[in-house]
Amino acid sequence: MDGWTYIEPCCGSAALALALLGATRSLLPYQGSKWRFRHALTAAIGEAGVTGRPDRVVLSDAGPFGVAAPTLIDATLRAEVIQELEGFAARDAREVYDALHQQPVSEDPATYTAELLFLQRLSFSGKAVGDRGGRWSSPGFNTSSAYGLPGTERFGPVKPMVPSLIRVLRSYDRLHRPDELIGGRRPARAPEGPVHRPTVVYLDPPYVDSTTYPGGELDRAGVVALARTWAEAGATVIVSEGEPVRELVSVGWTARQIDTGRKDTSRFRGKQEEWITVSR
């Protein structure tokens, strides 16, 4: 397809955007990432008649990734992020953590992004890092992620995470570069008017009855209103949730289960079901 727009108003770590642009490795294995579902989500976009790489990408989020996600897709800024992370990797991980946690965030987008990624990669249980009050707030320092662990009978060795993060970012040098990249830290917004080209809007809001994301909230009523407004403007809209969004299904949208949730003790799958609800 010649020319289409991808919009993600609650972008988080932008797993789907990265996949659409050609990424083959996930940015972060943190809770909430949609990397595991990228094939099902991409298929849903294709079924709506939209194929190929987007040439216009709009990524925003009320939390820290409203800054970080577009920074990482910009090749020049990404190189600066890598340089900052290489400096962190040359120091003791605990020393860097102590120098960042509860300290003021940087105003420079590349430095800010490097600080966020370092803290997130070493976050306890992969929980989200926040910056309430302009200071970094980490759920805790994960020693095994920082320094690695030897293998056991059940699991292979765990390698230090920051060097692997740098390798992932270097692999993004092969990403498709959109003609237009728009980003910003802001709450999810409705369209200002009708869309005039093929447009896909992917909504991955905080799930009902789940932990809220750092930086903002978007309840079910807000999700439904936002989704319907984008659809009425002419966009294809896909909403992720742990259940069908019944308020949308009742007006003709289609719900599809893309993962049944964890039924065993695997550490590599989420516990809850994954559904997408797609506009007509």
The per-residue pLDDT for range 161-191, each reduced to its tens digit, is: 999 999 999 999 999 999 999 999 999 999 9
Which two three-digit tokens encode residue 162? 């920051």
CA within 13 Å, CB half, 27: 31
Note if the pTM is more than 0.75: yes
DSSP 135: B
The per-residue pLDDT for range 20-37, each reduced to its tens digit, is: 999 999 998 765 689 999
The per-residue pLDDT for range 224-270, each reduced to its tens digit, is: 999 999 999 999 999 999 999 999 999 999 999 999 876 655 554 55
Q: Which residues pair with 275 in a beta bridge?
A: 241, 257
Which residue range forms the structural domain that includes residue 132?
A: 5-278
Please give the tally of structural domains in the chain: 1
Token pair 């662990």: residue: 149
Q: Which residues pair with 180 in a beta bridge?
A: 56
Which two three-digit tokens encode residue 33? 């990432």
Full strand arrangement of the beta sheet holding 56-61:
180-185, 56-61, 5-8, 199-203, 236-241, 274-278, 254-259
